[in-house]
Amino acid sequence: MRIGILIVAGLAVMLSTPFASGRGEAGTPVDDQRLLHAESEPDQWMMVGRDYSEKRFSPLAQINRENVRRLGLAWFFATGSRRGLEATPLVVDGNLYTTNTWSRVYALDAASGELLWSYDPQVPRRWGAYACCDVVNRGVAAWQGKIYLGTLDGRLIALDAATGRPLWSVLTVPQDRPYTITAAPRVVHGKVIIGNGGAEYPGVRGYISAYDANDGHLVWRFYTVPGPEPGAQAPVMVNAARTWSGLGWQAAGGGGTVWSDLAYDPELNLIYFGTGNPSPWNSRARNPDGKDNLFTASIVALDADTGVYRWHFQTTPDDAWDYDAGQNLVLADLDLNAKRRRVVMQANKNGFFYVLDRETGQFLSGRAFVDQNWAKGLDPKTGRPIVAGLPYAANGKFVSPSPLGGHNWQPMAFNPQTGLVYIPANEAPFLYQAEGSFPLSPSHWYTGLNLAAESAPTGIDPLLLRAVIERGVAGQLIAWDPIEQKTGWRVRQPSPWNGGVLTTAAGLVFQGTADGRFVAYDAQDGKLLWQQHLPNGIIAAPMTYTIGGRQHVAVMMGWGGSFGLAAGEAAKVKERDYAGYLLVYALDGRASLPSSRPTSRSIPGLPKIVAGNQALADGNRLYNQHCAVCHGANAISSSALPDLRYMAPETHRRFEQIVRSGTLSKRGMVGFADVLSTEEVQDIHAYLIKRAEITRAAERQPRWWAQTKVFLYGLIAPLLYRLQALRFS
Ligand code: CA
């Protein structure tokens, strides 16, 4: 009798969690065949882009246009992190795998959210100074009972998918250079493919590597820019070397890093990836003769088995704008001019949407999907941009798109049913101005760009600053027709830097936003069908899976990343101290997040300082050049990194030691003695104290007066913004 009950109970468990044993539908773990035919397993999400074509299109349709309004939180998982969360989770045979900041991994029960195991690679916190764009991670890969992780400090680690135990670990980058990994690895035919980032720092030369997925030995490596090693003699590299001029780029490493997603075509056996900006950004400091600088800012195709070069298409020759081509590449078959074409598509940072033949790299079409003024257009035959002039004039120039990109790493999605690509787009013109001299220091940005050019006057009223900035930046979700190269529909959003996109066979588009909403749109016309307000912003892309017969939609909530760190007053995150969560939704979900407790902050006692206008102006310039990329523009932090206006008295006392000697480097605040003198640090300190005094005065003003000012500033902000744009046009 008891045995009978046990058998029945066991059967019930097996039926309700069909893949709980870690085996797939065919009774096999994730292998090449399952990855190659991912579209035939709609309930799973086995790769960050769902399948090798990276469409982020799910065949699931249980949640549809009619019932999506019943969507609710089924469960959630607290990451404890207050920085950017960028991962797309995987769901494999009942388990969900996702990552946190600092390259930490979690395996959760995909039905209940119960934590099965976690793994922390213990990334040294000082490595955070090498991460241009926050200590983020975009996810893992799964294959043959293993989970593959790239760590911020450049290791590639294989974990046992059942226990989280590390099986092997290899170092993929030199440890004396500021390389980082934030991308999810991909597994293709038993090889783990991984690149790296760092082209904002000196000494970084981009490459992509393939490691044996069983034991981690290096199978092949492809450098994206020329260099001294024997491989440089390959004809393709000899030709690439002819596209560089001067010597400045060699100290800088050349850049061209492969820091984001890649796609794979099994029929052609080609992998496709985009490369980052050449280094430094300032083109004439790097490239006096204005040559193309291959293979930076390019889309490149390699043979997946050997890493041998097959073709490239350079989106931005002689890039001077930080127009990395790292945005996700989507493979599709489109009918162009009555002919079926195998294409690769990208919504590039430079604002143009490209359709290329993925067999040959031939340019098929391209058109701007956002406002842009850096190019007069594309050559209709070659796709080469007709550049409207270099941006580094002495006075500077307002250019669109900015280094934020018309589109950045937040993945777009393609729905074959609507024929539309859904692009999370940014609008944020940027003032490009050359920096006279820039120090070569491994833990500091090395761009040749005056990052302080746009800084606000030290004494500006914070409310006016917000009004002007809000006038200048925004976001859009654009549904783009890649055949006609035109907009299908678009939704305006109050902030740039919104989340990646998921689309489904039920005609839905899911996206999280910078201002803390998770939204479902109608894929056909952009109609808002459902949304939930959240205490934190979203930059990650959602995914969907079925377990126990129930479709779920999952997304990481946690605003941050590059714009998240630097945005300052432009940030729309509602509760700055609210931690990041994995949110998992299903129809009739009833869970609710812990209520937010907004912490009220006040500025503690400030040291008295005597600083002249020149010292304050110098402090303003130096802060916005060296500190703002992490602590926020104009001394306003939008993330969990300390807002320096609110420093404790003890921090004020130790300010110079912290900034120059790096006494907090174990917590990620490295020393700046190699780039800042004692006097310069004092100027920055004086600037911060002044900004704190102004903020304190603003916080103490009566509410009615603040509201009146917000109204008046709203009236004059467009004019101020226009004047600013005219001054630098
Ligand atoms: Ca870049």
Query: pLDDT digit string (tens) for 296-344?
Result: 999 999 999 999 999 999 999 999 999 999 999 999 999 999 999 999 9
- 621 and 586 in one domain? no
Here the tokens at position 92 are: 């494999």
* Per-residue confidence (pLDDT) for residue 577, from 0 to 100: 75
Percent of the residues in the chain that have a pLDDT greater than 90, as a whole number = 73
Q: What is the pLDDT of residue 231?
A: 59
Residue 519 confidence (pLDDT): 98
| 445 CA → ligand 1 middle, Å | 11
- pLDDT for 174-223, tens place per residue? 999 999 999 999 999 999 999 999 999 999 999 999 999 999 999 999 99
pLDDT > 80? residue 8: no
pLDDT over 80 at 670, yes or no: yes
As a whole number, mean pLDDT of residues 647-674 equals: 92
CB 184 within 8 A of CB 258: no
Query: Are residues 665 and 581 both part of a single domain?
Result: no
Are 501 and 577 members of one domain? yes
Nearest-angstrom CA–CA distance, 687 and 696: 14
Residue 575 lies in a domain: yes
Residue 480: domain span: 32-86+472-595
On the question of pLDDT at 581 being above 60, the answer is yes
Q: What is the rounded distance in angstroms from the CA atom of residue 268 to the CA atom of residue 282? A: 37
Query: Are 628 and 572 in the same domain?
Result: no
Do 638 and 582 fall within a single domain?
no
User: How many whole angstroms from 690 Cα to the centroid of ligand 1?
Assistant: 32
> pLDDT (tens digit, 9 = 90+) per residue, 127-137?
999 999 999 99
The answer to whether residue 490 is domain-embedded is: yes
Given a cut of 80, is residue 679 above it in pLDDT? yes
Residue 2, domain member (yes or no): no
The residue-averaged pLDDT of 39-51 equals 97
The residues that bridge with 301 in the sheet, in sequence order, are 272, 311
Ligand 1 centre distance from Cα of residue 286 (Å): 15
- Element housing 424 (H / E): strand 420-427
Instruction: Tell me the pLDDT tens digit for each residue of 477-508.
Output: 999 999 999 999 999 999 999 999 999 999 99
- Of 569, 595, 621, which residue constitutes the final position of a domain? 595
Output the CA torsion 349→355→359→363 (10° steps).
Answer: -90
ω into residue 442 within 30 of 0, thus cis?
Answer: no
Predicted local confidence at residue 453, as pLDDT: 86
Report the separation in Å between the CA atom of 270 and the middle of ligand 1, taken as the mean of its atom positions: 25
pTM (two decimals): 0.94
Phi then psi for 113, rounded to 5 degrees? 85, 5
Residue 461 lies in a domain: no
Residue 624 to residue 333: CA distance in whole angstroms: 46
Same-domain pairing of 479 and 590:
yes
Give the model's pLDDT for residue 485.
Answer: 98
Kindly state whether residues 581 and 629 are assigned to the same domain.
no
Give me the CATH number covering residue 631.
1.10.760.10
Give the distance (Å) from ligand 1 centre to CA of residue 404.
9
481 and 571 both lie in a single domain? yes
- Looking at residue 478, what is its pLDDT? 98
Q: Is the per-residue pLDDT at 527 higher than 70? A: yes
| 547 Cα–ligand 1 center, Å | 39
Rounded Cα distance between 549 and 530, Å, is 22
Instruction: Assess if residue 555 is contained within a domain.
Output: yes
**What spacing in Å lies between the alpha carbon of 110 and ligand 1's midpoint?**
35
- How does residue 229 score in pLDDT terms, banded at 50, 70 and 90? low
Separation CA 672–CA 180 (nearest Å):
20
Active site (catalytic) residues: 322
Q: Residue 565 falls within a domain, yes or no? A: yes
- Cβ within 8 Å of residue 272, ≥6 positions away: 262, 263, 264, 265, 299, 300, 301, 329, 331, 344, 358
pLDDT of 3 strictly over 70: no
Range from 74-83, 229-238, 522-531, 614-623 carrying the lowest mean pLDDT:
229-238
> How confident is the model at residue 230, as a pLDDT?
57
Q: Find where tokens 């539908």 sit.
A: 25
Say which CATH number the domain at 512 has: 2.40.10.480
Residue 232 in this model has a pLDDT that exceeds 80: no
* pLDDT exceeds 50 at position 29: yes
- 210 is a domain residue: no
Residue 392 has pLDDT above 90, yes or no: no
Q: Which of 567, 595, 623 is a domain's end point?
A: 595
How far is the centre of ligand 1, averaged over its atoms, from the C-alpha of 280 (Å)?
10
Last residue of some domain: 536, 568, 595?
Answer: 595
- Number of helices (H), then strands (E), belonging to the chain: the values are 13, 37
Could you report the per-residue pLDDT of 595-650, keeping only the tens digit for each? 877 677 889 889 988 889 999 999 999 999 999 988 999 999 876 788 999 999 99
485 and 553: one domain? yes
**pLDDT of amino acid 5:** 43
Among positive and negative, which fits the CA dihedral 238, 243, 246, 252? negative
Are 555 and 641 part of one and the same domain?
no
Give the mean pLDDT of 377-388: 97
Q: Whats the size of the chain, residue-wise?
A: 729
**Residues 627 and 696 occupy one common structural domain:** yes
Same domain, 478 and 573: yes
Average pLDDT, the chain: 91
Count of structural domains within the chain = 2
pLDDT category at 20 given cuts 50, 70, 90 is very low
What is the CA(156)–ligand 1 centre distance, in A? 22
Q: Is residue 82 part of a domain?
A: yes
Please tell me which residue, 450 or 691, carries the higher pLDDT value. 691
